[in-house]
A and B are shown apart, each in its own frame.
Chain A
Amino acid sequence: MHLLIPWFTRLAIDNLAQGPGRRWDLLLFPGLIALAAAGQGVFRYFWRINVFGFSRHIEWDLRNQLFAHLQRLPLAYFQRMKTGELMSRLTNDLASVREMLGIGAVAALDGAVLILAALPLMINIDPWLTLWSLLSLPGITALVLGFGNRMHRGYREVQQFLGKLSIFVQESLAGIRVIQAHAQEDTRQARFAELSAEYMRKNLVTARLSGVLWPLIAVFSGLAAAVVLWLGGRRVLLGTLTIGQFVQFNGYLAMLTWPVMAIGYVVNLYQRGSAALARLVEVLETPAAPAHLTPDDGSPRRLEGAIEFRDLSFRYDPDAPWVLRDIQLKVPAGSCLAVVGEVGAGKSTLVHLIARLFEAPEGSLLLDGRDIRAVPLSRLRASIGLVSQDIFLFSETIRENILFGRPDATVQDIEEAARIAALLPSIQEFADRFDTLLGERGVRLSGGQKQRTALARALIADPPILILDDAFSSVDVQTEESILRELRGARTGRTTILISHRISTVKDADQIVYVRDGRIVEQGTHEELLAREGHYHRLYRRQLVASELEALAAKENG
């Protein structure tokens, strides 16, 4: 359709040259041109909608697939892959694939059709003129090919550097107290000036590339036009070419500029797109965590809560050092186990194994007497409430965060969970109460408030196994004691595992284990361990004084 327009233009012009008497033709060809343009418009509309729409649908689908797959990957994968790296795959790489399928496909097909159709028509007009005028066009393809990837790389670098600059600003503002306290504003500003200048330089590199590329393309197409003007003009002058044909030829030539650019562009898009696709496939082909593959066997909805470690040793990787060695431990359903020990002794790993966030070796960890590997994951996780050491809350309302594990809970359930977690007083301070938004765009909770929110989140499902991994480190002792009291009241039949540095937290547990370098070195009740005068006893002596002071100060306050 596109090709008809120059053709009609030529007929119109040549018609003029044939002299007077055919005035109705004057209207005919312009009319045909308008019709051809309208037809082309309609055709283009559907063609674009279809191809671009298709690429958007593919992107949508691929994104869903990737997200679904990510959720099934073992946590070790997320420790290996940085969040930033994964985000880059799901944003930049996905965009590259989409561009390859959308713009790439449109440009490739458009270009191919135009070249294949216009060339014969041009040759038909004048083969030699075609040859001479097209000499400079491959230059455009080469230019786009050569510059395209460099510009893209430059653009990526600019983006990445902007990220770096953002982090610098973010840290400078969040850490303003430290900077001002050390009178380092000037140092910080000098560093910022350096980063900002570097960012400017990177921007200018791409600016120079694109500043050269587009004008150069114009030079090549301009040269082609000059050739046509010169040689074509000669032929018109000599009478071997009509003026109409001359104009028609010019029309085709102008049309070809875009396709020859498109060749380079499409090659670039294809290179980037297929590399990006390979990276996405790599994510999709990462095997899912075995935990997600455990078949559902129709066993009871929830676990009873008996936990047994049988001579368990664990390490994160086959060539990594052991994190846990020879763990031999029975936790009867409904009892309370406390785990104490130094940082890095393996306490958190122990409880992560129970939640099957990592895989325990076969036969070494039993829940209700069955190997954990035989317990369907949905059952397992519906039975465990975990408050981990580093609390992760979502940028949603407090209510949505508490409801996370059990979306259908009633208002009473939420309030009850918040009450046990001693969260209600904090919530009353917020104007929107449970609907207070958390995160960057909402309220920033203090460490203690976060821990209590996470506790309420774990409690709302009333899980038979509750794991508190150093969950009260930022909560004052008095509040902690009231929470523990409430938990004991509500705890009938619930297996509880407490990890803590504080003696006050663990002293009432049914059994306490002291973990050191991945091994259980002491095991017993509070009294038994004190009598032993070992690690636990030393910890006790050291802490009691400090915690009593805090408690007293807090009481004085109240």
Chain B
Amino acid sequence: MHGPHVHIDDEILGKAYDARLVVRLLVYLRGYWVLVCLAFLCLAGYTGAQLLGPYLVKVAIDGYIAAKDLAGLDRVALAYVVTVILGFLCHFGHSFTTQYVGQRVMHDVRQQLFGHLVTHDLAFFDRNPVGRLMTRVINDVENLNELFSSGVVAFLGDTLMIVGIAGAMFLLDWRLGLLGLGLLPVMVWATNLYRKKARENYRESRKTLARLNGYLNEHISGMATVQAFGQERRALHRFMEINSRNRDALLKSVHYNAIFFPLVELCSAVTVGLILWQGGRMILDDTLLPGVVVAFIQYVHRMFQPIRDLAEKYNIFQAAMASSERIFRLLDEPARIQAPTEPGTPSATAGSIEFQDVWLSYVPGEPVLRGISFRVAPGEKIALVGPTGHGKTSIVSALCRFYDVERGRILVDGLDVREWDKAALRRHLGLVLQDVFLFSGTIGENVSLGCPWITAEQIQEAARRVHASRFIDRLPQRYQEEVQERGSTLSQGERQLLSFARALAFDPRILILDEATSSVDTETEILIQEALRILLESRTAIIVAHRLSTIQFADRILVIHKGRIREEGTHAELLARQGLYARLYQLQYQLA
């Protein structure tokens, strides 16, 4: 089961009420104020209907039964039926409306959050692990859901009910009313105690359950490893240990519940007893009618349910406040890469690139690019060669504006990338990455990335031209075949070809290729080389090359070393220079 990930460190709870957060949350209700009003009306109606029931019983007993008025009794019974039906309508109205509003708000928050996240630069994603961001979008928003749909309204409803019942009791008879509320402090105290215990325990059991399921999930996925190392027995022992801890936490909560809930009933029974005692004395003194006692007993029964519910609501509030705080903090984080005030696209988009003294650092003070300058003419292909970690990929990232440069500037078709319309720039550039990332969905969707203006014909044409159709045609559903668990059923080579098809389908003027290092078998290698040739045809290209065979496609070669360009020139020029590249070539010549 792909359950939401639970991050324990994210569960530190704060206040149950924070005015600043509440105000921000209320803003989301702006569009739904009519529905919110309706929900409150229904809530008030429901509470009223609930309060009216016992009162009608009292009227029936004291007014009509005592007076032997049959017709009156009929009327009261009819009125009772009316309150029941009214109660039903209001109850349904308020519970559905609040659910509806809650779900709408969640939908809005989720979308806002997701939209905010995908526009961040890559530095943001370097700082924030995917798991944590996911918890924001999924779990924290879900917590808000509880706040809106079952929290706030139920909280208000319960409070209203308690106040209403208390009011009704005092109106009927203030002395009995005092008695009826007499055990309320005890209840509040017990509820508070229970709430604290239950919360600690709830967190413990959630934590252990998350661990248990995590362990289970991992050991099912890694069963081959467990079996290959013959570690079944030890794995079982650890599993039992976690399982026991989870069971003990749960047993504890069974214990708390088994104490608390009967305790509530005891309180309610004792209150009923007190009312009977005092009410009885008053009836004997002729200062009270028996119907009042009957109504009181019913009120007492209706009062304890909301108290019980409130105990549970408090924890929901706390969790939701903490979640909303985290969500807002994330939303408040500004996107580092600023969109230009007047985004532009150059008139001529032939595909030229120019780096002018470009400096870039991910960590301040540790530049990874130190004054890179070079020019690529339209249609020209250059290869970046050099050791790993010396800046080849950073050049690519800066060009795509995944990060903004520190000094210098990068011109694409004469316009600084920071002045380009971001979407237009990225449509202009095509990026093929080393490790091919596949999304859930069909093969076809992975080529088009769901982009609406790429047709099925274009997808197939692109796949055919880079030879990806060879393996796609062998799949039972062809382009409709679902990609299994991130493409695990496709080989390295097949995934490479798929990413070429993706690049071709988007048909960029400038192609940026970060060549894969991992080895593939020979046949696939030939296909990949062939596909590359087609892909590079009549495009400007920057290739981060690992194989000499790929470098052969390039018009010019830059040797990148420690964030600088160490050698630059055409194949012939570099050979004449007798540097690093020359030695590489000699080696190849000897081998051939």
B327 to chain A, nearest CB (A): 14
Q: Is the CB of B525 within 8 A of A542?
A: yes
- Near A by CB (< 8 A), chain B positions 231-261 give 231-232, 234-236, 239-240, 243-244, 246-247, 250-251, 254-255, 257-259, 261
A553 within 8 A of B: yes
Query: Do B387 and A92 touch (CB < 8 A)?
Result: no
Does A218 lie at the interface of the complex (its beta carbon under 8 Å from any beta carbon of B)?
Answer: yes
Interface size on A, residues (CB 8 A): 159
Known contacts A9-B272, A392-B224, A549-B547: does B77 contact A226 (CB below 8 Å)? yes
What's the nearest-Cβ distance from chain B to residue A471, in Å? 12
B226 at the interface (CB under 8 A from A): yes
Query: Which residues of B sit under 8 angstroms from A246, Cβ to Cβ?
Result: 61, 294
Known contacts A56-B251, A174-B130, A203-B103; is-contact A552 B2 (Cβ 8 Å): no
A15 touches B280 (CB 8 A): yes
Contact yes or no, B95 A215, CB < 8 A: yes
- A212 in the interface, Cβ–Cβ < 8 Å? yes
Number of interface residues of B (CB under 8 A): 167
Kindly identify which residue among A12, A189, A473 contacts B519, using a CB–CB cutoff of 8 Å. Answer: A473
Given the interface pairs A56-B254, A173-B133, the reply to whether A189 lies near B111 with Cβ below 8 Å is yes
**A-facing residues in B51-109 (Cβ within 8 Å):** 53, 56-57, 60-61, 64-65, 68-70, 73-74, 76-77, 80-81, 83-85, 87-88, 91-92, 95-96, 99-100, 103-104, 106-107
Q: Once the chains bind, are A343 and B122 in contact (CB under 8 Å)? A: no
Q: Does B440 contact A (CB under 8 A)?
A: yes
Give A85 to B38 CA distance when docked, in angstroms.
43
Residue contact B440 to A167, C-beta cutoff 8 Å: yes
- Minimum Cβ distance to chain B for residue A465 (Å): 12
Contact B60 A70 (CB under 8 A): no
B546 touches A395 (CB 8 A): no
A84-B1, A211-B99 as given contacts; A243 in contact with B276, CB under 8 Å:
no
Q: For the complex, is B117 an interface residue (Cβ under 8 Å from A)?
A: yes
Asked if residues B221 and A173 are in contact (CB atoms below 8 Å), the reply is no
Assembled-state Cα–Cα distance A12/B293 (Å): 11
Report A-chain residues with C-beta under 8 Å of the C-beta of B385: 553
Contact A237 B229 (CB under 8 A): no
Contact with A along B479-502 (1 / 0, CB 8 A): 000000010100111000000001
- B270–A34 CB distance below 8 A: yes
A9 to B83, CA, bound (A): 26
| Residue A312 interfacial (CB < 8 Å) | no
Chain B hits for A174, CB < 8 A: 130, 437
Q: Tell me whether A523 is interfacial, beta carbon within 8 Å.
A: no
B289–chain A nearest beta-carbon distance, Å: 11
Is B429 at the interface (CB under 8 A from chain A)? yes
Q: Which residues of A contact B223 (CB under 8 A)?
A: 70-71, 73, 75, 78
Q: Could you tell me the distance between the alpha carbons of A332 and B138 in the complex, rounded to whole angstroms?
A: 56
Query: B364 near A: Cβ within 8 Å?
Result: no
Residue contact A229 to B56, C-beta cutoff 8 Å: yes
The answer on a CB contact under 8 Å between A49 and B106 is: no
Contact B220–A176 (Cβ < 8 Å) = no
Set A192, A215, A234, A344: member contacting B114, Cβ < 8 A: A192
* Also in contact, A342 and B522, with CB within 8 A (given A15-B280, A215-B91): yes
A549 touches B587 (CB 8 A): yes
User: Contacts A200-B107, A501-B519: A357 and B265 contacting too (C-beta < 8 A)?
Assistant: no
Partner of B518, one of A197, A226, A473: A473
Contact (Cβ within 8 A) A165 B138 = yes
State whether the Cβ of B339 lies closer than 8 Å to any Cβ in chain A: no
Contact call A219/B85, Cβ cutoff below 8 A:
yes
Check if B522 sits within 8 Å of A230, measured CB to CB: no
CB-based contact A178/B280 at 8 Å: no
Q: Is the CB of A45 within 8 A of B262?
A: yes
With a cutoff of 8 Å between Cβ atoms, the chain A residues found around residue B232 in the complex are: 68, 71-72
A168 to B439, CA, bound (A): 8
- Does A377 sit within 8 A of B, measured CB to CB? yes
Q: Please report which residues of chain B, range 101-155, place their CB below 8 angstroms from some CB of chain A when the two chains form the complex.
A: 103-104, 106-107, 110-111, 114-115, 117-120, 122, 125, 129-131, 133-134, 137-138, 142, 145, 149
With A41-B262, A72-B232, A233-B73 as contacts: A33 and B276 at CB distance below 8 Å: yes
Q: Residue A216 contacts which of B88, B221, B259, B298 (CB distance < 8 angstroms)?
A: B88
A91 touches B (CB below 8 Å): yes
What residues of B have a CB within 8 angstroms of the CB of A23 in the complex? 281, 284
Asked if A425 is at the interface of the complex by the 8 Å CB criterion, the answer is: no
Evaluate whether A52 and B276 lie within 8 angstroms (CB atoms) in the complex, with A20-B284, A196-B107, A544-B591 already known.
Answer: no
Q: Is B570 an interface residue (CB 8 A)?
A: no
Q: Is B321 an interface residue (CB 8 A)?
A: no
Q: Is the CB of B91 within 8 A of A83?
A: no
Check A189–B114 contact: CB distance below 8 A: yes
Judged by a CB distance under 8 angstroms, whether B363 is at the interface is: no
Query: Of B349-357, B370-378, B408-416, B420-428, which binds chain A?
Result: B420-428
Q: What's the Cα separation between A212 and B88 when bound, in Å?
A: 9
Q: When the two chains form their complex, are residues A404 and B229 in contact, meaning their CB atoms are under 8 A apart? A: yes
Known contacts A41-B266, A175-B437; A392 and B222 CB within 8 A of each other: yes
User: Which residues of the partner chain A approach B219 to less than 8 Å between Cβ atoms?
Assistant: 67, 70-71
A33-B276, A87-B1 given as contacts; is B95 within 8 A of A243 (CB)? no
B565 part of interface (Cβ distance < 8 Å): no
Expressed in whole angstroms, the Cα–Cα distance for A498 and B85 within the complex equals 78
Is B341 in contact with chain A by the CB < 8 A criterion? no
Is B269 interfacial (CB 8 A cutoff)? yes
A546-B549, A549-B587 known; A59+B247 contact, CB < 8 A: yes
CA distance A170 to B87 in the complex (A): 44
A80 within 8 A of B: no
How far does the alpha carbon of A83 sit from the alpha carbon of B247 in the complex, in Å?
23
Known: A166-B138, A177-B437, A207-B149. A229 touches B451 (CB 8 A): no
Verify B142–A162 contact, CB threshold 8 A: yes
Alpha-carbon distance between A180 and B536 when the two chains are bound, in angstroms = 21
Say yes or no: is B506 at the interface (Cβ < 8 Å to chain A): yes
Q: Are A394 and B284 in contact (CB under 8 A)?
A: no
Contacts of B221 in A (CB 8 A): 83, 392
The distance from the CB of B261 to the nearest CB of chain A, in whole angstroms, is 8
A485 at the B interface (CB under 8 A): no
Within the complex, which residue of B449, B493, B591 is in contact with A182, where a contact is CB–CB below 8 Å? B449
State which of B24-32, B159-167, B210-218 sits at the interface with chain A. B210-218
Give the chain B neighbours of A192 by CB distance below 8 A.
Answer: 110-111, 114
Residue A282 lies at the interface, judged by CB distance under 8 Å to chain B? no
Bound form: Cα–Cα A60–B247 in Å: 7
B539 at the interface (CB under 8 A from A): no
The reply on A449 being an interface residue by CB < 8 A is no
Cβ contacts A to B, 28 pairs, < 8 Å: A9-B297, A20-B284, A26-B276, A26-B280, A30-B273, A34-B270, A44-B258, A70-B219, A78-B224, A173-B117, A173-B133, A175-B437, A182-B427, A182-B451, A183-B424, A183-B426, A185-B119, A187-B450, A200-B106, A203-B103, A210-B95, A211-B95, A250-B298, A378-B230, A388-B228, A407-B234, A476-B517, A549-B548
Known: A19-B284, A394-B218. 4 other contacts (CB 8 A): A57-B247, A166-B138, A179-B449, A230-B73
Give the 4 A-B CB pairs with smallest separation, nearest first: A37-B269, A30-B273, A230-B77, A222-B84
